[in-house]
Chains A and B, each alone.
Chain A
Amino acid sequence: MNQAPAIELRALRKTYKKGRELVHAVNGLDLVVGRGEVFGLLGPNGAGKTTTVEICEGLTAPDAGEVRILGKEWGTGADDDIRARIGVCLQETKFQEHATVEEVLKLFRSCFDDGRTVDDALALVSLQEKRSARQKSLSGGQRQRLAVATALLGDPKLLFLDEPTTGLDPQSRRQLWQVVRDYQSQGGTVLLTTHYMDEAHQLCDRVAIVDRGEVIALGSPAELIRSLGAQHFVVVDLVDADAAPDDASFLSISDVSAVERRDARVECTVASVHTALPAVLEMLERRGVEIDGLSTRHATLEDVFVHLTGRHLREGGAA
């Protein structure tokens, strides 16, 4: 099919002035999101995710670069056309305080010439019982699902979700994931931002790891993790942090390629658990170091981020 990609961004730049300082919120970013993909922007606070998404939505004008949404550009007379075909869920929206769920949906539905019925949208996010509840009486998760429902009303081809699950409990998060999967299975494209690694891993076909306004890694979650080489970790909790052997003792084990410590916890990056684990235990045993706990885990997208930047996702990026 001769269809333009859902999103095309080329050499995108956006700089804000903060007092006398310049903040490069988006710093030469390239991205192509294909139709039918669930694409994740993953990055720490201040990485430029929201800025990128809002440029795509036509809310923010870029300083430089090209933006093509469903093959069309903002500001070339196609704005209303684009708006009729996208659905947007901002990072934070306060709907009118006294409006009921149904009323909010009716209001947003009124401006689309074609689209879903309010009942359909309610069913998609399972908010039927809350139909006549006012904003005040909704939980955070219900509010978020309502915001997503408003985005689905126009039956959009492309859905933007900016941190749709931040602050939600695990059950609400899973409910929202299901909404996204259902939407995708009907042919929709999604661009979502998140700083939850597991969310990106579970939900996204591809992710772009964004830091300081640039894409520093791009690919499917599995590809990105595989690119680390070592895919496993042996995590040892010691009884006494001071009694821990130095890094060299761990690295002398041939399977261990890196060591990281936090208090009494030592994390060894290993190629294969079944050979590294006995060796680590044997080394500790030999030195008489007491062990409080032991676990192993797979590498995650977080490890990819740490590997690329030397920082954790939650530490904040634009420092």
Chain B
Amino acid sequence: MRWRVVKAVARQCFLEFWRSPQAVFWTYGFPIMMAVVLGFAFQSGQAEPVTIGVVDNKVTRANLAKLEDEPLLVVDWLSPADADRALGRGRVALTVRWSARDDREVLRSDPSRPEAMLARLLVERRLRQASGGEVAYVPPAHEVEDRPGSRYIDFLIPGLIGLNLLGAGMWGVGFNLVQMRVGNLLRRIFVTPMKRSEFLAGYLLGRSVLVIPEAFVIMAFGVLLWGVPFRGSLLAALTLIVVGGWVFTAIGCLLACRARTTETIGGLMNAVQLPMWILGGTFFANEGLEGPMRWAAEVMPLTHVNRALRDVMLEPGTLLDVWVPVVALAVTGVACFSLAMRLFRWQ
């Protein structure tokens, strides 16, 4: 490998990217914006109220009128048909109707929706009170968890950094490589004495340098705007970001190494990214998953990037604490890159 060539390729690939405002926006600007918006959405400690549908009749009016005082519930009084439709469309989390035959209320909901469970508990409590069963009951006091480091936003920000490394790393590299193939530029380069290692190394370098500043922008937003703690070592965070960016860049390169059309590469990237979006531990902890889902989550690089970033930000983690995932991720990146080198097609 001649460093002179790597540098020339890297420079040119970076410039090409930098001069294309749309590419910069969609690869780096938009994800930062999304992180900011999500941060705002999730930083308030206020819980969203749940809407339920109650089939309007004399008995339900009598038993459940008090539910309207419940701050976490919004009550819709509906006809039986409307209640069914509202439940089907997800406009209400649960329906309540009076069954004359059974002489009691019937609650209907899909238990896989988390807010349905909340609604059910609240409605049952109200019904118990209405039947006079809780005269001596003193409700417990409730505290809102708002200490820095334990809120959802604190959980979310390291995950968003991981997610952005994933998106920017893969899109920044993969798509353009296929465009160069489509435009015959790769074939033109192939007939020069440039080696594929020189080209690919320069290309990855040039296209991925922006990944690191982007991750730090999101981190800065989190720390300065929402008070997300940063308790570990900055060096460890930097290492994780570099290694995370590297592994996703290498995966993007692997996906693009043979794709012949931009449609193919778009589809491939989505197919690889979507499972990581869902299971990679960005929006919710994936430690609680079971069976094959757990297994899949543990294989995903994003899981380990996110976990290690949380160790470094939310806990006083140092490089020593995260060296295992750092090495594992780096090795994964090297494996993907070597495979990409092997499989790479100029035409």
Are A112 and B347 neighbours in the complex by a CB distance under 8 Å? Answer: no
- In the complex where A99-B12, A110-B4 touch, is A94 in contact with B185 (Cβ < 8 A)? yes
Distance A65 CA – B221 CA, assembled complex (angstroms): 64
Question: Count of chain B residues with Cβ under 8 Å from any Cβ of A?
Answer: 25
Asked if A99 contacts B16 (CB within 8 A), the reply is: yes
A90 interface residue per 8 A CB criterion: yes
A93-B184, A103-B15 in contact; A111/B192 too (CB < 8 A)?
A: yes
- Which of A6-14, A25-33, A79-87, A294-302 is near enough to bind chain B? A79-87
Task: Among B184, B192, B195, find the residue whose CB has the most chain A CB atoms closer than 10 A.
Answer: B192
Residue from B20, B187, B192, B193 within 8 A of A98 (CB atoms): B20
Which among A57, A98, A107 is the interface contact of B9 at CB below 8 angstroms? A107
**B111 touches A (CB below 8 Å):** no
Q: With A90-B188, A92-B184, A93-B188 in contact, do A98 and B5 touch (Cβ < 8 Å)?
A: no
Q: How far is the CB of B16 from chain A (nearest CB, A)?
A: 5
A111 and B5 contact, Cβ closer than 8 Å, known pairs A90-B184, A93-B183, A96-B16: yes
The answer to whether A59 and B8 have CB atoms under 8 Å apart is: no
B81-93 toward A: CB 8 Å interface, digit per residue (1/0)? Answer: 0000000000000
Determine the residue in chain B with the shortest Cβ distance to A109.
B8
- When the two chains form their complex, are residues B191 and A57 in contact, meaning their CB atoms are under 8 A apart? yes
The answer, yes or no, to whether B299 is at the interface (CB within 8 Å) is: no
Q: B residues within 8 A CB of A112?
A: 192-193
Q: In the complex, which residue of chain A has the Cβ closest to the Cβ of B7?
A: A110
- Complex interface: chain A residues within 8 A of B347 (CB): 59
B-contact bits for A95-106, CB 8 A (1 contact / 0 none): 111110001001
Contact A83 B184 (CB under 8 A): no
Instruction: Tell whether, in the assembled complex, residue B193 and residue A88 are in contact, meaning their CB atoms are under 8 Å apart.
Output: no
Q: What residues of B have a CB within 8 angstroms of the CB of A97 in the complex?
A: 16, 20
Cα A84 to Cα B5 in complex, Å, equals 14
B19 within 8 A of partner (CB): yes
Interface pair B15/A107, CB less than 8 Å apart: no
Interface flags, A43-76, vs B, CB<8A=1, else 0: 0000000000000011100000000000000000
A213 interface hit (Cβ, 8 Å): no
Cβ of A177 < 8 Å from any Cβ of B?
A: no
Q: What residues of chain B lie closer than 8 Å to A90, measured between beta carbons?
A: 184, 187-188
The residue in A83, A97, A107 that gathers the most chain B C-beta atoms within 10 A of its C-beta is A107
A111 touches B194 (CB 8 A): yes
Is A154 an interface position by the 8 A CB rule? Answer: yes
A289, chain B: closest CB distance, angstroms: 53
Whether a CB of chain B sits under 8 angstroms from the CB of A196 is no
Residues in chain B near residue A86, CB distance under 8 A: 191
Which residues from chain A contact B190 at a C-beta distance below 8 Å? 59
Q: How far is the CA of A110 from the CA of B9 in the complex (A)?
A: 9
Q: Is B198 an interface residue (CB 8 A)?
A: yes
Q: How far is the CA of A154 from the CA of B193 in the complex (A)?
A: 9
- Name which residue of chain A comes closest to B180, CB basis: A96
Chain B residues with CB under 8 Å of A92's CB are 184
Chain A, 136-154, CB within 8 A of any chain B CB: 150, 154
Residues of B contacting A103 in the complex (Cβ-Cβ under 8 angstroms): 12, 15
A83 to B190 alpha-carbon distance, docked (Å):
9
Extra A-B contacts (12), CB below 8 Å, given A94-B184, A98-B20, A112-B192: A80-B195, A83-B192, A90-B184, A90-B187, A90-B188, A93-B185, A94-B185, A95-B183, A107-B12, A111-B5, A111-B198, A154-B192
What are 11 residue pairs bridging A and B, where the CB atoms are less than 8 Å apart in the complex?
A58-B191, A93-B184, A98-B16, A103-B15, A106-B12, A107-B8, A108-B192, A110-B5, A110-B9, A111-B8, A112-B193
9 smallest A-B Cβ distances: which pairs? Answer: A94-B183, A110-B8, A98-B19, A111-B194, A88-B191, A96-B16, A83-B193, A93-B188, A84-B193
